[in-house]
Amino acid sequence: MPNSATPTHCPYCALQCGMNLTPLQDGGVAVVERPDFPVNKGALCGKGRTAPAVLSSSVRLTSPLVRSPAGTLVPATWDEALDRIAEGLARTRTEHGPDACGVFGGGGLTNEKAYNLGKFARIVLGTSQIDYNGRFCMSSAAAAGMKAFGLDRGLPFPLEDIPRTGCVILVGSNLAETMPPSLRFFNELRENGGTLIVIDPRRTKTAEQADLHLAPRPGTDLALALGLLHLVVAEGRVDEEYVQERTAGWEDARAAAMAHWPEYVERITGVSVPQLREAVRMFCEPEHAMVLTARGPEQQSKGTDTVGAWINLCLATGRAGRPLSGYGCLTGQGNGQGGREHGQKADQLPGYRKLDDPAARRHVAEVWGVDPDSLPGPGRSAYELLDALGTDIRSLLLMGSNPVVSAPRAAHVEERIKSLDFLAVCDVVLSETAALADVVLPVTQWAEESGTTTNLEGRVLLRRRAVTPPEGVRSDLEVMHELAARLGGERGLEKGFPTDPEEVFEELRRASAGGAADYSGITYRRLAEENGVFWPCPAAPGTTGATAADAVEGPEGSAGTEDCEDASLDAIAVADDPAQDDEATGTAVHPGTPRLFLDRFATPDGRARFVPVTHRAAAEEPDDEYPVLLTTGRVVAQYQSGAQTRRVDELNAAAPGPFVELHPRLAARLGAAEGDPVAVVSRRGRAVAPARITTGIRPDTVFMPFHWPGEGRANTLTNPALDPTSRMPEFKACAVRVEAVQQ
């Protein structure tokens, strides 16, 4: 590696692929391979390779903008813009109370930013109304994992275990387009003699590589999982010894599964009984196997139960908490995992602690230097917060999200945002949401700042600053420091919001100590020397304010989400490797925990919990008026709302706009040819995009990618019906009709 190269990580998905940045003569940087990082070993997708394009001043914000009397956004000084934000939030707080101020974050914020944003909301604004767009990512899997295991970490094992297992069931994930570098693990799996089962209503590029592809109707993954578990029982494939020794609640879960016999499941899902039997055989015959879920089964109004059913399948067959076996969730957003662990989520405090746990409140309040009783309680979930804008919530501070494109029922959310008394947005680019703001602040991005992220494996990583940001651009940490000075200067609150990310991380370590997501044993120095450290990683007693009691105390170690029991850290922080001595202090250093649950689960008795679940229909089923199901997803050349990738010429050339994927039979009924505009209409609105005709989708289903605004905005159509536990909206299934459009 050249001496001038800076090792860092991609700004996009949760793989957080390693890359090196080398300086160019024009002041920019070029991406070069970083083969030492084990997740991607140098491989990058097009988004990662072209990421420096968004650093250009020609596509990003370089000056604060304020809304003029004429209604347009015009350049302003930083002091003017910050004063306006402080005045707007203070006025709302005075006139309507602290909960009239909302805060909405993003799954791309670093751990330091997410941590300070949660702290800012709760001690500067005093509001409970904070959540983030990661709620739309893996909240259903998190809730199900908490119920079953007592702890949620996307993958409880590293990606490198995948090639060594015997079979993987991949549910609702198109990795070939969403995380292309990860495909090597699945290719190696098959090269080693393992098998891959892909479950998706579309024959995606990922499904084309599977040994078995099951194509259920959207919204029926729960029935499918229950049908497979029924067959496991009926065929005598239950690991009875494992169930007896390491689980609880099997009989109720078994009874629920037995009500879903194969022929019944075939009628619900459209997956044939022989295919169901083949899937069970492929999954059960090897010694080791895994189930990995993604947004397909999770973004449903029954997503928690759906993931729970897949976890039940793993538990019944002894495929959890054992080497080379287990259940995992493929987190989507770059820091979707770390973003919620440290206080950006409505019901959580740093360290994955429950906000309504008195012991957790005391611990964090002590770190923050405030009275525990001053901390507000849990607030609204993401969609509920957005839905309350302009009514209960009158002002909003938004960082790193673009809900005008990414939220369900997006036209309604756009109207709610427009109805606010005051909106301030911090972003890299002028997104569709930022364009509606009263104040827009240009902030630094990945290569212009240092900070940590946590990838889908639970591997905490260090992004390093490689370039100087343009003049006029500041970091989100500076923004929060300046706003704290303006809103709480008489109390000296800005002192609690340092602008140095390492200083913030040091406080985060203390705040997380003893919690389920314990980062207290992780330092910037370690991250600079190692390829990441897996949490939980407790510190040696006395080194960060954590004590031995902190590390095992019951409520203090609670993992922190809905409907779960407290988990003790000693249940999960079992490392694969022995502790090493820190050369500087001579104290033992915890090596981190790549593999969870090998000895016991993070529940009070160490047993995993079966949760009985039963199939139920999607919140909105097809009828005569809306006879087709819509499902949504991503394409390889764009990312999330497209706010950044749509500004990269190479990516736009590969994916220039939205489309509607439909089966030839449906196209024939409409009289639509390839490329013809078609309209997709739901109860919430209408979207128009060119037809893409393929036999790779079910005849009763259409697909739209969700990266674009305007008339092709897929989320105009999607249903905000919420999962009762995770509060996840039902992005993946809603009833629509498709119409030909006169040209």
pLDDT digits (tens, 9 = 90+) for 399-451: 999 999 999 999 999 999 999 999 999 999 999 999 999 999 999 999 999 99
State residue 572's pLDDT score. 47
- The C-alpha atoms of residue 206 and residue 579 are separated, in whole angstroms, by 39
Confidence of residue 577 (pLDDT cuts 50, 70, 90): low
Q: What is the mean pLDDT of residues 650-674?
A: 97
What is residue 545's predicted lDDT score, i.e. its pLDDT? 46
Chain Cα centroid distance, residue 382: 13
pLDDT of amino acid 570 = 46
Q: Is the pLDDT of residue 564 over 60?
A: no
Mean pLDDT of 187-214: 97
Residue 540: pLDDT band with limits 50, 70, 90? confident
- Helix, strand, coil tally for the chain in percent (to 5): 35, 20, 45
Give the per-residue pLDDT at 581.
Answer: 54
pLDDT at 547: 38
**Per-residue pLDDT tens for 644-660?**
999 999 999 999 999 99
Place of tokens 């390093």: 464
pLDDT > 70: percent of the chain: 93
Query: Would you say residue 301 has pLDDT above 80?
Result: yes
pLDDT in tens, 16-47: 999 999 999 887 899 999 999 999 999 999 99
- What digits encode the pLDDT tens for the residues 680-734? 999 999 999 999 999 999 999 999 999 999 999 999 999 999 999 999 999 999 9
Bridge pairing between strands 395-399 and 422-427: parallel
Query: According to the model, what pLDDT value does residue 544 have?
Result: 52
Q: Where are the alpha helices (DSSP H) in 33-168?
A: 46-49, 78-96, 111-119, 135-149
pLDDT for 440-494, tens place per residue?
999 999 999 999 999 999 999 999 999 999 999 999 999 999 999 999 877 889 9
The alpha carbon dihedral of 87, 89, 92, 98 has a sign of negative
- Quick check: 138 pLDDT over 80? yes
The answer to whether 307 and 140 have CB atoms below 8 angstroms apart is yes
Give the C-alpha separation, 368 to 364, whole Å. 6
Q: What is the pLDDT of residue 543?
A: 62
**Using CA atoms, how far apart are residues 29 and 9, in angstroms rounded to an integer?**
14
CB-based contacts of 79, cutoff 8 Å, min separation 6: none
| C-alpha to C-alpha distance for 632 and 625, rounded to whole angstroms | 20
Cβ neighbours for 106, distance < 8 A, ≥ 6 positions apart = 132, 133, 134, 333, 339, 399, 400, 401
pLDDT over 90 for what percent of the chain? 90
